[in-house]
Each structure stands twice: as C-alpha cells, then as structure tokens.
Amino acid sequence: MAEVRRALEQGVTTKPAGRIPSIAGLPFANLMLSMALLAGLGSHPAEAQSTWPFWDQYAKHFLSPQARVIDPDRNDMTTSEGQSYALFFSLVANDRSSFQNILAWTDNNLARGDVSKNLPAWSWGRNSDGSWGVLDPNSASDSDLWIAYSLTEAGTLWGEPNYIRKGKELLSLIAQTEVANVPHAGPVMIPGKTGFHRGSDEWVLNPSYLPLPLLFAANHYAPQGPWKQMALNLPRWLAQAHPVGFAMDWVKCDAKGCSPAVWPENSSGPARGSYDAIRVYLWAGMTAKETPGAAKVLEMFSPMLRFVKAHSVSPESVTADGTILSASGPASFSAALIPFAVSSGEQGVAGRLQQNVEAEISKTTGLLGNPPAYYEQNLALFGLGWQEHRFWFAPDGTLRVQWKK
C-alpha cells in the first residue's frame, strides 16, 4: 500500500549454497568494515550496536527515538511497511531493544494498542491541521504478514512465547479480514481490507505482497489456515498473469482468468512492473530451492535475468508485453536482484549487480545513495543481508539467522 502512494507521488509509471564466494574478496568487504566503524555515529533506540552495521546505519538515519521509521521524502510519514521491515531487520541483527520499541510504537500508534487485535493502519503522519496521527486507516496486508512473520520468528529465536502468541493471533486476523476466494487464484491475500474488490467477481492483487517463504511459514504456525493452499496456488496464477515473464505491480483476476492490471487510482498508461514488482524477484531469489514452487517461479521470471545479463542493470519500468519504458533502474534494484541471480546460478551477473550497489554506497553514511532514500535502503537490506548470509529461509519458510548457532 505504501509503495503505491510512493510511486504515484514520484511519478513512477508504475544455509544457502551457491552464494558468490568470490565476492568476499571484492571491495565490498572493506566497505562493510567502514560501515562498522561508522556505526558509532548518531543514535537510535537500540542500547548497543547490533550484529549488522548496515542496519545500524539505517536505524540511525530513519528510525526516530520513539522507534517509528520516518520517510523524509514524504513529509516524514510512517507506514506499516516501514515498521514491518524494521521489525524483521532488527530481528536479523539480534537487536532486541529496537525490536521491542518498534513493536510498541506500531501497537500504540497504528493498531489501537495491539496488532494482534487490530490490523495496523497503513499510514501515519502530519494531518492537514498540523496534528500527528493516522492518515489512512486502511490496512496493507503485506506489512501485516511481515509483522506476523517477525513476531513468530522472534518468539522462536529469542524464546519469547508471547511473541509467538501475538504473531499467531495476527495471522488469524489476516485470514479473517484480508483473505478472499478469488477467481482462478483460490484463497489469496488481497492487498488490504478495502478497495480491491471491483464489482461482483473482479479482484485486484499485488504479486509482491505474497512471498512464498512467508506463506509457508504462516502454515507452519497456523496449519488450519489458508496459507498452504495459497502458497501452492501462487505459481499457477502468477504464470497466467505474467505472459512474457516480467513481474507486474498489479494483477486482476476475474471469471476469465488473471492478467496484468493498472492501479485503479492511476489508470493512465499500460500495466507495468516497477517499484512494487522488483520485490517479486527479490522474494523468489531468497526462497529456499527445496520450497514447493520455488524453481517454477525462478524460471517464470527468468526474462528479467536475461535482460540484466545483457545490460548489467535492471529496467526501472517494463510493460506486460516486455516493452522497456525506463531502462536503468536504481542501484537498489540491483541489490534486490542479487539473490535472484545467485539462485538462478548466474554468479557473474550477481557480481556485476554487486558492483552497481557498491558504487552507490556513501562513504559518509554507509547507506545507498546520496541523499539516502527510505525504500532504496529496504531493498538493499534484504538483498545484501541475504547475500552476506545474515539470514536465509528454510524450505518451510521459517527463518535462519547468522547469530543463532
């Protein structure tokens, strides 16, 4: 949900084997050391440095003392997306203090006191009268799923049963309010509580809201829910909705089938894949190869990899028929595609993507870009964190982290 608004506002036409062992000897290793030294600058809610310098730099730049993730490019707005990703990254970093503070802020400001009882509002910020509070109470289901995932995994890794209970209750709430029986897709998580059901039988879906590992992990903790069937159905309707193998930001499913769609609030121009869709490749690349459907999804979206192999960069925007609207995506897109290249066996492509990212890391902040943008860092944290073996997903979707022996 948050990224949709971002795209509109910016005018966007919208233990794993086979990693890159040679990359350990590239300048990026020195860059990580520099970032570790930089981690002593500034302050954020964590009482001590975590195990992940990039996360420390991100938290110093984007996480307020109250533990809300601030997007400075959107009037200091906070989204459930930002809070959900920050929960996951703080868990990966073994940063328990930040995790607790981020969760508390999310509970109290987005979820009327408890995310296990109330789905978080997707946006919070400055109202027209100058006050601060919820801007849009609608939910963003991908953020909700990431919060539930981080809670259950934190409960397991840190031995906190209350987190597991809270995560399982949120999964139940998502299943009750954000899952629908969609034509040609079966039970599927729709993007939010309201606004995505057109007429009697047409639904608008966002493929990037449905990471396979998170769906299988949800089934691990809530086997009576719709999660396993949702995960098993995903490759089939994704293939139907992406006829030439480039992921789309939005898809519609109706009685005729599933097909690329334009975002209802910005219907000018063709359906396209851009700032939302880049996460489809990211999730596919990070999925364990033994996970049901993983190989099929990798193969389905291989045209993106062929483009990157030929041009060394990702397109920023592409239409459903493969027409490139904007050829050079930002460095964060390269970071997001590193896992996809590695999991596809294209180590050389992964190395070139890595170089794209290194070239854009600021020596001053240790972050991507100058000035660093909120969404770009999140893509980089996922892609680089996975590539550095800081985390990975088991075949059942549950989380493995570097710090947990």
Q: What is the pLDDT of residues 173-223, one digit of tens each?
A: 999 999 999 999 999 999 999 999 987 789 999 999 999 999 999 999 999
pLDDT at position 351: 97
Quick one: pLDDT band at residue 405, thresholds 50, 70, 90?
confident
Peptide bond between residue 371 and the one before it cis (omega within 30 degrees of 0): yes
**CA separation for the pair 184, 201 (Å, rounded):** 11
81 labelled catalytic? yes
pLDDT at position 264: 67
Which member of 142, 144, 316, 346 is catalytic? 142
Q: What is the DSSP string of 392-404?
A: EE-TTS-EEETT-
Q: Phi/psi of residue 297, each to 5°?
A: -70, -40
pLDDT > 90 in the chain, percent: 84
How far CA 181 is from CA of 194, 197, 280, in Å, comes to: 15, 11, 22
Q: How many domains does the chain have?
A: 1
**CA separation for the pair 322, 271 (Å, rounded):** 11
pLDDT at position 1: 47
The mean pLDDT value for 303-319 works out to: 96
The residue whose two tokens read 């997707």 is: 122
pLDDT at position 6: 42
Write the CATH number for 355. Answer: 1.50.10.10
Residue 16 pLDDT more than 60?
no
| Mean residue pLDDT across the chain | 89
Which domain covers residue 103, as residue numbers? 2-401
**CA separation for the pair 360, 103 (Å, rounded):** 31
Q: What value, to the nearest 5°, has the Cα angle with vertex 23 and ends 17 and 24? A: 90
Token representation of residue 178: 């954000």
pLDDT at position 75: 95
Q: Which residues of 129-159 are buried (b: 16+ CB within 10 A; e: fewer)?
A: eeeeebbbbbbbbbbbbbbbbbbbbbbbbee
Q: What is the DSSP string of 296-364?
A: HHHHHTHHHHHHHHHHSS--SEEETTS-EEE----HHHHHHHHHHHHHTT-HHHHHHHHHHHHHHB-TT
Which member of 56, 81, 178, 346 is catalytic? 81
SS3 assignment, position 63: strand
The mean pLDDT value for 357-368 works out to: 96
Q: Is 0.85 surpassed by the pTM of this model?
A: yes
**CA separation for the pair 317, 326 (Å, rounded):** 5
